[in-house]
Amino acid sequence: MLLAGEEAAGARALALIAEAGHEAVLAVTTGGTRVAAAAAATKVPVTAPSALRDPGFADDVRSARVDLLLNVHSLVIVRPEILRAPRIGSFNLHPGPLPRYAGLDAPSWAILEGATEYGATVHWMDERVDTGPVAYAATFPVEPTETGLSLNTRCAREGLELLRRLLLDAADRSGAIPSTPQDLSGRRYYRRGPPGDGVVDWDAPAETIERFVRAADFQPLPSPWAPAPRTRLDGVELRILRARLTDLPADAAPGTIAVQNDVARVCASDRRLELEFVQIDGRTVSAAVALPDGGMFDRPI
């Protein structure tokens, strides 16, 4: 096995390989990561992700008689020659159902769009990103309070179970690994970064803004969408960290702030949102302390 992995999911995948009775001949990962530490602890050699961009690395894969290449949370685009080098094939763990949620930050986009069901996919890798045939897939409901972090974590957990099935089926080389072509007519591909350059549109419905805040919430970890969702107040930029829907109708222009009884609320187009925490100059503070009663957030032009 060859593992191209990052983050906690990559480290767990390395353990799964051993648990399934397979041998990891190499881990491709960034130095100093959890995957690198796990590889060192199990005496698995490590090489840098740049190897995946070197077409000559395919010869090394063939020489090592690698059966499977597993890509787990590594964002490096693997050269086609390398994808074709393993004897069985190359597989990617994608944090989303394909083909509907291909690309980057897919769980955050699902929250933003109000998805009620989501999933994880292990698919055969080909020359395009997230287009190869599906091997295994899992679906599960999206909770109403889901955040970017919680949905990514759920995808990793479900996806690792799919990898476990792959590793078990790989022991039988008679075609036991499923291969279902994707219907690419339903494909949507998401690129890196938040919508609207990460700026809050106070003219939007309160529910849309609240979903945006949750989609960008990876606390206590760094958010890939940071500093979104961002807004400005009297020329000072701040980030909305936590917001809650209310049933209170908007009674002023969108973006208008009201602070009463240590609670900060802001008008969207239809309802008021309760703001719990904001970030200013890298500091997390209570919205009721930081925001002025009667103030108004800037509205995008």
pLDDT tens readout for residues 233-257: 998 999 999 999 999 999 999 999 9
Mean pLDDT of 271-278: 97
Residues 177, 36, single domain; the answer is yes
Do you find a cis peptide bond into 195, omega within 30 degrees of 0?
A: no
3-state helix, strand, coil in the chain (%, to 5): 30, 30, 45
Q: Over 60: is that where the pLDDT of 299 sits? A: yes
Q: Which domain does 67 fall in, by range? A: 2-190
Q: Over 80: is that where the pLDDT of 82 sits? A: yes
Mean pLDDT of 51-55: 96
Out of 190, 208, 237, pick the residue that ends a domain. 190
Residues 42, 86, single domain; the answer is yes
- Do 212 and 229 touch, CB atoms closer than 8 A? yes
Residues 7, 107, single domain; the answer is yes
Report the C-alpha gap between 55 and 71 in whole angstroms.
17
Residues 80, 166, single domain; the answer is yes
- pLDDT score for 132: 97
- pLDDT band of 171, cuts 50, 70, 90: confident
CA dihedral 57, 60, 65, 70 (to 10 degrees): -30
- pLDDT score for 270: 97
Q: Which residues pair with 258 in a beta bridge?
A: 265
Residues 24, 125, single domain; the answer is yes
Q: Over 60: is that where the pLDDT of 150 sits? A: yes
Q: Which of 268, 270, 195 is nearest to 228 (CA)?
A: 195
Q: Residue 242 is part of a domain; what is its CATH number?
A: 3.10.25.10
Residues 184, 222, single domain; the answer is no
Is 120 contained in some domain? yes
Structural domains of the chain, count = 2
Is 295 contained in some domain? no
- pLDDT score for 301: 58
Q: Over 60: is that where the pLDDT of 174 sits? A: no
Out of 190, 213, 248, pick the residue that ends a domain. 190
Residues 169, 208, single domain; the answer is no
Residues 184, 93, single domain; the answer is yes
- Rounded to the nearest integer, the mean pLDDT of the chain is 95
Residues 210, 183, single domain; the answer is no
- Do 1 and 149 touch, CB atoms closer than 8 A? no
Out of 171, 190, 209, pick the residue that ends a domain. 190
DSSP 8-state secondary structure symbol assigned to residue 250: P
- pLDDT score for 32: 87
Across 110-268, where does the E strand assignment appear? 117-124, 134-141, 189-190, 230-233, 236-249, 257-260, 263-267
DSSP 8-state secondary structure symbol assigned to residue 284: E
Q: Residue 87 is part of a domain; what is its CATH number?
A: 3.40.50.170
- Do 162 and 177 touch, CB atoms closer than 8 A? no
- Do 20 and 39 touch, CB atoms closer than 8 A? no
Residues 151, 70, single domain; the answer is yes
Residues 169, 26, single domain; the answer is yes
Q: Tokens for 173, please give them.
A: 């080389």
- Please state, for a pLDDT cut of 90, what percent of the chain lies above it: 95
Residues 153, 205, single domain; the answer is no
Is 74 contained in some domain? yes
Is 298 contained in some domain? no
